[in-house]
Copies of this chain bind each other. A is one copy, B any other.
């Protein structure tokens, strides 16, 4: 099958189309014929050599994909269903699905543990589904980790990103009040269209704007060190800052006095490094809590689709800072001719 792999770590040109053996399903896996694969910032890090895939995952990038199930492992599916293992049961060849992947989405086919598979949400095609999975899992797991609840104020940094655009919609649907930052007034205004009460230019004094609005109970941050002090100043007493990205720095100074006097919590998380059982629980939560909101209250925000073979262009696009929402790779229907 066709894959797009990293020949040697580097810039977008490091991505090259190549061939790999077709995957065969492990006992608890399904094979998905990929029609669409989301592009994430983690893929850019992996391409640059900073985010190696976990053991057992394919070496090529891709944390989410959507398509059709073409094969089932021996323990998966209606015929194999046991009484005590709903996590991998219920799938059939031909099901239209999407999945959270530990890697390997940049390919015509991918093997994935059946507990990480979801049906495509209602009214959504493969592109939309592939653009939702990773963001939905990220948002749900981190709002849960922060103990976010309706009525609280959420500040979303990178409201124009794939995670941010989903976070605005989902948190608004939950009954949270949402403030969002983005690069420049036009992108900030689009955050308001998605449901945010206010869109703030992250190049301005957004912390002052947040404080004018009473502060935030929860912050979802992708910038890391550059935002750390201003984020802590923006939190209300008892507030929680969840750092899920380090786009603007890793090491920063922290004022623990503020942490104590305001009883603040700082959490850092990544999704891919979690044990399978935790990722499966997150996928189940997304299916239960996000999928019923799609489409309508929550819709994928797709900036562009790019053919798999031009994944390097997709990376350049995401690097440009001009993307609003997701970039999704599209994969030609497999014809078997290129299977090795």
Contacts and interface: CB of A to CB of B under 8 A. Distances in A.
A203 interface: no
A261 B237 CA distance: 27
A151 interface: no
A261 B273 contact: yes
A259 B273 contact: no
A4 interface: no
Nearest to A242: B265
Contacts of A259: 243, 266-268
A211 to B, nearest CB: 19
Number of copies of chain A assembled together: 2
Contacts of A249: 256
Contacts of A256: 224-225, 228, 243, 246, 249-252, 268
B250 A251 contact: no
A246 B267 contact: no
A269 B260 contact: yes
A257 interface: yes
A288 interface: no
Contacts of A243: 256, 259-260
A19 interface: no
Interface in A287-307: none
Interface residues of A, number: 31
A270 interface: yes
Contacts of A250: 255-257
A314 B245 CA distance: 48
B274 A260 contact: no
A244 interface: yes
A99 B180 CA distance: 44
A256 B252 CA distance: 8
B263 A270 contact: yes
A263 to B, nearest CB: 5
A252 B251 contact: no
Nearest to A225: B256
A253 interface: yes
14 contacts: A224-B256, A243-B259, A243-B260, A251-B253, A251-B255, A251-B257, A253-B254, A256-B268, A259-B268, A261-B268, A263-B268, A263-B269, A265-B266, A266-B267
List 7 tightest A-B contacts by C-beta distance, closest first. A259-B268, A260-B268, A250-B257, A266-B266, A254-B254, A265-B267, A263-B269
